[in-house]
Amino acid sequence: MTGHVDRSSRTRHLRAMFEGPKIIRAIGAHDALGARLGERAGFDAIWSSGLEVSASHGVPDADLLTMSELLDAARWMAGAVTLPVVADCDTGYGNATNVAHMVRRYEAAGIAAVCVEDKRFPKLNSFIPGRQELVPVREFAGKIEAAKNAQQDPDFLVIARIEALVVGLSVDEALKRGRAYADAGADAVLVHAKDADPALVLEFLDRWTSPLPVVVVPTTYFRITASELHAAGAKMVIYANHGLRARVRAVSETFREILRTDGTAAVENRIAPLETIFELQGVEELRAHDATYLRSDEPRSRAVLVSPEIRSDATADDHGPAWHRALRERQTRSLRQGGVDTVTMVGCTAMPTDASPEPTGARTVWHDDVAGLLDSSVGDEEVTLLVAGDMLFDSRLISRLLANDHHIVVAVHRRRPGDVRLPVRAATSVRLAEVDPRERLVDLAAAERVTEIVASRAGEPAEADADMIGLLRLSSQGIRMIRDAAGRVPMPPTGPRDLRTALSLVLAQGHPVHYLDCPGGWAEVTPDEASAHELVGR
């Protein structure tokens, strides 16, 4: 998603660039994603490439697609970026009457400029051997006049594309055609060529005396730079199909590697992470829009992810900032996929000077107090998950926990026969309610209650029924219970006021604490600090 951009502002911007001192660099694309990648890379304009759009449909660039199909592609690109889009309109889809209709449609779609070539309809791509026929100069000049008379925005540009060099004619013929098109009202001319040597193009630029700007497309004479072309007199350089060609090679290599290795592990570090795709799609803008306008009786949800401290001297080998960022990206993704609306990162000490940036859509705050983790301003309909920062949870487990409607729910691993203690560092043990099966028929929730938070020392087994796995669900009322209980705990000389003590006080005050048995769907990762464990009852 992208913000609305005034169409006329883009046409004005493109015209201003043509009148300015710098060369304009345009990149070819065939869809909105390619246009966004071009904008992110720093190009000045997007070229809606007829070759790329045709190839994306699996057909030759030979006027096989209709104007509507090519217009739809250009419209999607214009809607996805703030850059001006220049549309490759082949021969104008017919005669001068068709060209006038085309200009009205493209202008209405927010396209800043159209480029029409002086070949006979149906055209064939300039680099394909075969029929390459030009229309008479007079006929094409009529198309340019019709195009200019049809436009409504005075800043809209019509570029006349000269194919004389492509069909083997002389530079003199190219110059003659260019001057005729300039007299017909074209805003710029594009001189096209297919030789590996740019000599003919450079000669055209050297002999071009009109003030009209010249556009070039160095697809085959790629060794020359944009700066060199600008020095020779070119005003715009179009890299017309490089995005498509790059995709084809990269995708083909990735597909072959997946089949060769019987999986994707070998390619994961060479392809874009899903977070990048979500960013390009505008997922965060979508979520912000939903949060503002969507109304529902369903409670909103947030997750408070308690992260272990990142040491300032940590390296990649001992889980430094880069490692933590990758971990937090995955944690955030699972939480979002499980139904969490917002994610807040919370550190246990002062923020390290080299802390890695938070994942897309997450924010970071720093506290040393369990009560401080839970914002008292949450809405009555909001659900909060308190999550250990060194655990990974399956999104389906998150969904199960969010669906539970009790005020305080701890996720636990209930011990099975043969279990002594869960092999999780600093795990907090709990005892569960013993309920007569007949009583469950009357009070189904009774069997889900925690009766005691068991104090135990590290490495010592505890007499208990289950172990907490670092995941807690709180309703707004549950938050108030926790905050009230935490407020009764004296601050120890060092370290935070921990959640396990607060939960014990909640139970002592007669409030119920429920549990969700999670035999699978979670895993511990190696922690750097124990402080996160203490805060979330691990």
Active-site annotation holds for 61: yes
CA–CA dist 61, 125 (Å, integer): 5
Other Cβ atoms closer than 10 A to 94:
15
CA–CA dist 181, 201 (Å, integer): 18
CA–CA dist 80, 282 (Å, integer): 10
Burial class (CB within 10 angstroms; exposed 0-12, middle 13-18, buried 19+) of 51? buried
User: Locate tokens 């911007």: which residue?
Assistant: 13
Here the tokens at position 519 are 């035999």
Q: Strands (DSSP E) along 367-465, which ranges?
A: 383-388, 391-393, 408-414, 429-432, 449-454
CA–CA dist 485, 470 (Å, integer): 19
Residue type, 154: P
Q: Which of 6, 31, 44, 61 is catalytic?
A: 61
Cross-strand pairs, 517: 412
User: Locate tokens 């000599």: which residue?
Assistant: 199
Alpha carbon distances (Å) from 179 to 195, 204, 209, 362: 23, 12, 9, 57
Here the tokens at position 390 are 């060194």
Tell me the catalytic residues.
Answer: 61
